[in-house]
Chains A and B, each alone.
Chain A
Amino acid sequence: MSNIVISLSNLNKSFGKTQAIDNVSLDFKENEFFAMLGPSGCGKTTLLRTIAGFETPDDGAVVLQGENITALRANRRPINLMFQSYALFPHMTVAKNIAYGLEMEDLSKPEIDERVADILKLTQLQKLAQRRPDQLSGGQRQRVALARALVKKPKVLLLDEPLGALDKKLRGQMQLELKRMQVEAGITFVIVTHDQEEALVMADRIALMKDGKVAQLGSPHELYERPNSRFVADFIGTMNFFDGYISGKKITLHNGLQLTGCNQDLAEGVDKGSMAVRPERISLHSQQPDNVDNCLQGTIVDMAYHGQDMNVHLEMDKKSARILVKISPGEAEAQGLKLGEKVWCAWSAQNARLLAS
């Protein structure tokens, strides 16, 4: 499980003045679902295309199971890419599209037929084998693209925004489907996405990228619970930030209020910063609660019903950013929360991270 399939070391790539990849080193493990996540223009697609062999890095190396493949062309790499546009061949049937990659390997006709039949079954495309791409729906096309890449049994499958073209409901289904196929195929999937929810649901590990660099690498849980910077905290999920001056585990807000966080891993000499707290980790109280690490009073300025939860927006004072608290609608009703009412927010130190600004 911990064997490394692909190792990227000190990759750099620039287009003109833009540094698309800035000294990136990453290892992809065998049989893992890896997500490269980031806003558009962060270099994640360039990185994917470098692994596929469509971009040559300015320097650095791509190593596949100990072999340096940096100079190898895309058609010689045992790595396949599923394109964002799917890039199906419009003049071929589904079966021919899938067989194409096997024909390039000079396999015998019976073997090709057998492997195509197997993958059609795995992807539930048997009935569509003789259709052409323009006779398929978006979800079906996506499955054909996946089948065409998987049938080659690549060491690593790269997926460029695989669910980007699908509608929201289908996307949810396909997330689980992709995960299932990765487990069944037993190969490494490296996916590029700008959708943090997609990455959280599917990936074993996530590399969150910014400006061509890896901002944070870790499991979805680590990125969600222990973001190492304000960028990461802001990008993954929703987050409340309290800005102020940090000393040790304490932060002092502009109004003198002191809050306590849990981490001690800030660099020496950092003083300006913020405390990050997830909206669902804050509880609301009508009286000032005892024995809590952090509490402050605010006025309810907005309440939005989202079905499974209620978003309560509070204002501590005019100068501070609004605080978002997520509680269940049932709880909101039980507490009799009303607009304009003053309530107490409380959260424990272990749910609060201090981050340099």
Chain B
Amino acid sequence: MPSFSLSALYMNIHLKLVYVFLYVPIIVLMVLSFNKAGLPTVWSGFSLEWYGKLFENDAILNAAGNTLIVAIISTVLASILGTLLALGVQKAKTNSALDALLFAPMIIPDIVLAIALLSFFTLLEFTLGLHSIILSHVVFNIAFVCAVVRTRLKNFDYSVVEASEDLGASSFTTFRRITLPIIFPGVLAGSLLAFTLSIDEFIIAFFTAGAGASSTTLPMQIYSMIRFGVTPEINAMATIVMMVSFTLVFLSQRINKGITG
């Protein structure tokens, strides 16, 4: 056997170990969510009991409701604003410094953004609650939507916009009938990503939420429950959240790839 295939073998083993390292804890969590016993770490038979309990827990249902409200509204707002931003930036042909600033909300640590937003809201004497979480999520989601839409715009032939105007269409009609349909896969992929990020975002929501259950989101609820110990209920919860996120990210990638490829 030639020597390179030996190194290829090592690479292969290494790759598999990385996957094990990444995914085994998650698989353990998923398996334990079906554990009959109340102890989170000892297996005592299969059961869907904890999933049932989850849907009887008013605090969790309330938090899940809040999370959906935050995720849906912030996704819609961020999708609109992020798409417009991407179109504007594309047209203006900005310099690289401005480009870097656009990506900043994606890169700076959540904790920094969280503190910054909280200070900002306090400075403005803005009331905290679900609305302040929504605004905060819009801030970083705009950056993500904009980034995804811009990858689509790279292949966008601007002359179709001029062609549409030349054929008698107004700017609005051109946007509605030409630009938006062409970049729509990018917008959809961007908004799915935004939705996913919003659903399991904890730090920023934690900082910018108001007091009480009315602005508690799901990750915050899980965090408060976990302080009293990990129960299979939390495992079940985490499993559901993860499946939703995973599905959305997968869809988002498929959609964006479908047209580019």
Q: Taking A87-B159, A87-B160 as contacts, is the C-beta distance between A105 and B165 under 8 angstroms? A: no
Interface members, chain B 168-215 (any A CB < 8 Å):
168-170, 173, 177-178, 181-182
Q: Check A81 for interface membership: any CB of B closer than 8 A.
A: yes
- Say whether A238 faces chain B, with CB atoms less than 8 Å apart: no
With A83-B162, A91-B181 known as contacts, the answer to whether A100 contacts B167 (CB < 8 A) is yes
Q: CB distance A87 to B168 under 8 Å? A: no
Known A-B contacts A75-B168, A75-B170; A87 and B163 likewise in contact (beta carbons under 8 Å): yes
Tell me if B125 counts as interface (CB < 8 A to partner A): no
Binary contact track A70-81/B, C-beta < 8 Å → 1, others 0: 000111100011
19 additional A-B residue pairs with CB within 8 Å, beyond A90-B160, A100-B167: A54-B162, A73-B165, A74-B165, A75-B166, A80-B167, A81-B163, A83-B162, A84-B159, A85-B159, A87-B160, A88-B163, A89-B164, A90-B182, A100-B177, A101-B167, A104-B167, A104-B169, A149-B166, A149-B167
Which listed residue, A75, A88, A90, touches B165 by the CB 8 Å rule?
A75
Q: Is B157 an interface residue (CB 8 A)?
A: yes
Give Cα A89–Cα B178 distance, bound, in whole angstroms: 7
A85 touches B157 (CB 8 A): yes
A87-B162, A87-B163, A91-B181 known; A152+B157 contact, CB < 8 A: no
- The interface on chain A, measured as residues whose beta carbon lies within 8 A of the other chain's beta carbons, has a size of 24
**A54: which B residues are within 8 A, CB to CB?**
162, 166
Given the complex of chains A and B, what is the CA–CA distance between A88 and B182 in angstroms?
Answer: 12
A-B contact pairs, 8 of them (CB 8 A): A75-B165, A75-B170, A80-B167, A89-B164, A104-B173, A105-B168, A148-B163, A152-B168
Taking CB atoms, residues of chain B closer than 8 Å to A89 are 160, 163-164, 178, 182
Residues A52 and B182 in contact in the complex (CB < 8 Å), given A85-B157, A85-B159: no
- Per DSSP, are chain A's interface residues mostly helix, strand or loop, or mixed? loop
Given contacts A90-B182, A91-B181, contact A81 B157 (CB under 8 A): no
Cβ of B17 to closest chain A Cβ, rounded Å: 43
B103 smallest CB distance to A (angstroms): 28
Nearest A residue to B178, CB-CB: A89
Query: Looking across the interface, which residue of chain B has its beta carbon closest to that of A90?
Result: B182
For chain A, residues 85 to 124, give those with C-beta under 8 angstroms from any C-beta of chain B.
Answer: 85, 87-91, 100-101, 104-105
Interface residues of B in 116-169 (CB under 8 A from A): 157, 159-160, 162-169
For residue B205, give the distance in angstroms from its CB to the closest CB of chain A: 38
CB distance from B257 to the nearest CB of A (A): 17
